[in-house]
Structure formats: structure tokens, C-alpha cells
Structure 1
Amino acid sequence: MTRCAPFVAVSPKCARRQVIPMGERLYRTTGVIIKRIDVGEADRVLTILTPVGKISANARGIRKTASRLAGHLELLSHCQLQLAAGKNRDVVTQSVAIDRFEAIQHRLYTMAAGYYVAELTDNFVTDEDTASPALTHLLASLQMLCQPCHVEMVMHWYTLQLSDVAGYRPQVFDCAVCGALLDEHAQRWSITQGGMLCPDCVRADTHAATISLALFKLLRFVQREPLAVVAQTVQPFALHTQAFRLLRQWVVRHSEQPLRSAVFFDDVRLKEYQDY
């Protein structure tokens, strides 16, 4: 069997740009499966977030009952991968699951949240520079969702962290226009200007939304505090609803991609609270 080249020998992009001996076409990496699409009778195309970027890879025969790859390449799984560089798309040749985050799959609510953050990641991560910090935040969020926590708070935290990584950090401590320190009198939120506006700069965006003081404080808290603190903080259902609406508008505007999983998550979230 051809031995795999070391991880640093060849990157996915380099492998596709040049003719490389077969022994060097193989490379290893780790990553989280953030998207999967069934193709043909038994194959599946995977989108994998790795420390050096997103990889689109073909998992051949993975939907067959006897496939050795099937249990290691589920959505949201963190995997050690060996791939063969292809001309248009790489091919997964080996995979070992590092963490399947199985606790997420045991509850519909956390599963819906997992799908949400996976789609958000796929929409926002577009280059190598954002991949490594995005992967770090994604793993932290998935690990937290496996523990007792407030799911909405984890999702708000991840949304703001991913926005920061992608270069779209909303301003909630300083005015997005003049840079003045904000206080409790700030009420206007402007997507086009980059966040909160002080009372003197509200004319910069006549379409800026008016938000409650509670929502303003929530955004500041989530952006400032570590995940371990944020995830254990209780907030009202209605306030979370406001936060989701505001942050979705923010990410959709800047990623230029819809969040299709949001409808499913909202339905599951509402049922979760009704049952509770």
C-alpha cells in the first residue's frame, strides 16, 4: 500500500495545481464535517472545515451498508482524514473519528442547533485565514452543546465569534460611526454602519433598528465573556428571539447567503419551550 505523505508535504490546493507523484497525492488533515450532499447511488460529497481551509471531498461508497467510512464521516464529526488530491475534488481514502459529538444527536434541539452552526460556518468561512480560528470556535461550541448548557447562548456566542473571525465584528462597545464609547442611551443598531450608533450619529442610517436595552446588554455580554460563562447564563425566551432575528440579519447581509436551517431550528426551539 502506498504510504501517506506527511501532513506538511502538500496542501489540498497545491495538490490540485500541479502534477504530483502518486505517493505525494495523499495527504492527512483533521476537520469537522459541516455539509454533506448525496450523489449517485452510494457516494456523498462532504464539505470539511480544516485548519487550512474548507475542502470539498468525495466519499465514495459511503452510503453502502458495508462501507468502512460511514461511521466516521457523519455531519458534525471531528475526524482525522487521509485524502487523495483530485483534479476537481479530493477523495477521502481513510477516516478515523476523533469526536462524533454523540450527545448532540440524542436531543432534537441540540441537533437542530448543530445543523445551524454548521451551515453558518459553511456560509462564512471563505479563505484559509479564517479557517483555523473558525474551527477552534466551532469545536468549542460543539463540545459545549454536548454538556448541560443554554443552547441559545452558545449559538449567539458562536455567531458573534464567527463574525469577528470573518472580519465583520459588530461594534457594541464603541459607536460604529464616530467611535465614541457607548452607554445605556444607545438604542440604534445599523447593519450598514457596522453595529450600534451613539445618539449623535443616528442620522448616519435612517433605517437603523431600535433595539431594547436588554438586547444591547446581551450583545455586549456575549461578545465580551468566554463561552463557559455565556453558556450557563439564563435569558428570557423573548429576548433570545430578538437576538436571533438581529444576528441573522447581520450574518445574512455579510455572508450573502440565506440560513435555510433557521426555520427548522425555530420550530424545534418553540416546541422545546412549549414542552418545557
Structure 2
Amino acid sequence: MRTASVLRRASRSSLPSTHGAASNAVGTAYRVRALALRKTKLGESDLIVTLLAADGCQIRAVAKGARKTKSRFGARLEPFSVADLMLSPGRSLEIITEAETVTSHDALRSDYDRLRAASVVADFLDKVSVECQAEERTFALATTTLDVMERSEIELLPAVVTAFLIKGMAMQGYRPQLSSCAMCAAATDVHDVRFSLSAGGVVCLACGGADVSAMSVAADMPVILDALVRAKLADVAALGIPAPAITDALRLVGAFVVYHVPARMKALDAYLRGA
């Protein structure tokens, strides 16, 4: 567990750019593959698009004229889409000059249940990714998760969401401690299992009794969480975890995320309310 959270945004001015640094130094365009996380209206016809680049860095870029009926961008910058982009450095935001679709993930936007699940992925990544701070595994996790969500049965989506969140937290340095007490490393009571949000894992009775963030969980919850964090996303369905257990795991992991990520995630809040 990290002693200090890295889930904080770095300002553009505080760190050098990792996206075509040599090109940006002289103001020339550069190419990047990126996942669209969020879009915001700008002016009468433009969009600000929040992107997760293939190296895991966050980029915020302007797509000029993207809201016009005959925009050259079309649906290439819709949330959950992966595209190859040409970007030009701007004063505070990059400028998108070209966009070619790699994976559209249309099915995630056309089905309500898939949309809700995919929105959790995008919301989480929007909050934890940082400009100029690379983490290449994050992009692979994100795109794989969206691919799996697109072809999964609806009833399996909560399991995929839970697996994504616990894996995403692990990549941020918050992998839950599940085999022994997260505070003192002692063995835990198999008949009275408690999970501490602050310590980030199971805790023994002595440590858990003084921890206001510790909560009782099912005896098999550590095994379930360990299986989810270890399994490939495509293999989550094969784990055969019962739906009620997945619901409990989702609520626990969701609470864990909310406790450690210093920003409200509306999509996650909404998903947990529907669990």
C-alpha cells in the first residue's frame, strides 16, 4: 500500500510532456492512440475531449467544429472509442486535427446496461489518470475491459466492473492485502472476517476492533477478491462466482475506491445504487 496517494492530478506546467516531447518543444504535431473518456461542450461548436493515451497519460484536447452536423470527426471521439489521433500543441489544451477509429465500441453506447458499466470504467480512468504520468498497463486494462463488456452477457457485467476496479486500484498501488492482516501481518479469523478500507485489506480482530473503516464481510470474500484481481478479464465469467457474492464484492470494492480516490465518481455512485 502506498503511504501517500498518487491519485492526484499533476498540472501541465509541473511536469514535462511525455507525448512527443521533442516535437512539442518546437510546436509540431504528433500522433497518439487514445481512448476517449469524456467530452465537454466548448463554445458553439467545439468539444473538449478527455483522453487516456496508450502510455496511460491523460490528455485534454479540443476538437474544433466537432459538434457541427458535418464534422469531419463524426463519432470518432465518442466516449469509449479508441482512435489514432493527430494532435497539435496548444496553449493550455492540445488540438485534435485528425482522428481515425481503431475500435468504436458502439454496443457500449447503444445498450443501457453496457453504457452504465462502461461509464464506470471511463469515470474511474478520468479521475485516476494524470497528465504526463505514464502507466501503460492502465490503457491495456481499459481497452480489454471495454472489449469484454461489449461481448459479455448482461448479467456478467457487475463481475467485470468489480474485476476492473480492483485491478485498476492495484495498478495505482492499492492492491488489497487478502492473505493476512493488512496492519500487523497476523493471521485473520476465518470465522469473523473484516476488511479495512483505510488499511486496504483484511484485518485481524485486534486491529479491526479499533478501525472505524473496518467492516465485516463474508468468510469467502478474500478468496473472491483474490480470484478477481488475478483472473484475466475474459476469464471472469468462468470463475462461476454467484451473483449475490458479486454484488457484495462490488459494493465492497466500490467503497474501497471511494475511500481512496479523492474525487467523486458519479458513474460509480449510480452503479452502486443499482447493485
TM-score of the pair, normalised by structure 2: 0.84
The whole-number CA distance in structure 1 between the counterparts of 2:134 and 2:188 is 29
Equivalence map 1:265-276=2 (5 Å): 265-266=271-272
Deviation at 1:254, TM superposition (A): 1.5
Q: Find the counterpart in structure 1 of residue 257 from structure 2.
A: 251
The whole-number CA distance in structure 1 between the counterparts of 2:259 and 2:169 is 11
Match status 1:136 vs 2:145: no
The whole-number CA distance in structure 2 between the counterparts of 1:120 and 1:195 is 20
Counterpart of 2:267 (choices 253, 261, 267) is 261
The whole-number CA distance in structure 2 between the counterparts of 1:12 and 1:224 is 31
Which has a greater percent of helix? 1
Secondary structure of the equivalent of 1:76? coil
Indicate the RMSD between aligned Cα atoms, in angstroms. 2.4
Q: Find the counterpart in structure 2 of residue 103 from structure 1.
A: 107
The whole-number CA distance in structure 1 between the counterparts of 2:192 and 2:228 is 17
Equivalence map 1:1-276=2 (5 Å): 11-12=18-19, 14=21, 18=25, 20=26, 25-52=28-55, 53-126=57-130, 128-129=132-133, 131-149=135-153, 150-180=156-186, 184-185=190-191, 187-203=193-209, 205-266=211-272
Deviation at 1:157, TM superposition (A): 0.8
Deviation at 1:127, TM superposition (A): 5.6
The whole-number CA distance in structure 1 between the counterparts of 2:77 and 2:46 is 12
| 1:13-71 CA-partner distances (Å, limit 9, x unpaired) | 847984x1x5xx10001010011111111111011101331100001100101111122
Letter in 1 for 2:86: Q
Q: 1:17 and 1:103, CA in 2 relative to 1: closer, same or farther beyond 3 A?
A: closer
Q: 1:116 and 1:71, CA in 2 relative to 1: closer, same or farther beyond 3 A?
A: same
Deviation at 1:196, TM superposition (A): 0.8
The whole-number CA distance in structure 1 between the counterparts of 2:52 and 2:237 is 24
The whole-number CA distance in structure 1 between the counterparts of 2:244 and 2:225 is 14
Secondary structure of the equivalent of 2:235? helix
Q: 1:148 and 1:244, CA in 2 relative to 1: closer, same or farther beyond 3 A?
A: closer
| 1:193-246 CA-partner distances (Å, limit 9, x unpaired) | 121113453345254111112433321221222222213444444433322322
Structure scoring higher RCO (CA < 8 A, sep ≥ 6) equals: 2
| 1:85-138 CA-partner distances (Å, limit 9, x unpaired) | 112110000000100112222321011111111001111223655531111100
Q: 1:26 and 1:186, CA in 2 relative to 1: closer, same or farther beyond 3 A?
A: farther
Q: 1:252 and 1:266, CA in 2 relative to 1: closer, same or farther beyond 3 A?
A: closer
Aligned residues: 256
The whole-number CA distance in structure 2 between the counterparts of 1:140 and 1:92 is 25
Stretch moving more, 163-172 or 242-251 = 242-251
Q: Is the 8 A contact 2:37 2:51 kept in 1?
A: yes
Q: Find the counterpart in structure 1 of residue 9 from structure 2.
A: none
Stretch moving more, 173-182 or 39-48 = 173-182
Deviation at 1:249, TM superposition (A): 1.9
The whole-number CA distance in structure 2 between the counterparts of 1:74 and 1:140 is 18
Letter in 2 for 1:160: I
Identity %: 25
Unaligned runs of 5+ residues in structure 1 are 1-9, 271-276
Q: Find the counterpart in structure 2 of residue 273 from structure 1.
A: none
Q: 1:72 and 1:127, CA in 2 relative to 1: closer, same or farther beyond 3 A?
A: closer
The whole-number CA distance in structure 2 between the counterparts of 1:189 and 1:212 is 10
Letter in 2 for 1:158: F
Letter in 2 for 1:88: S
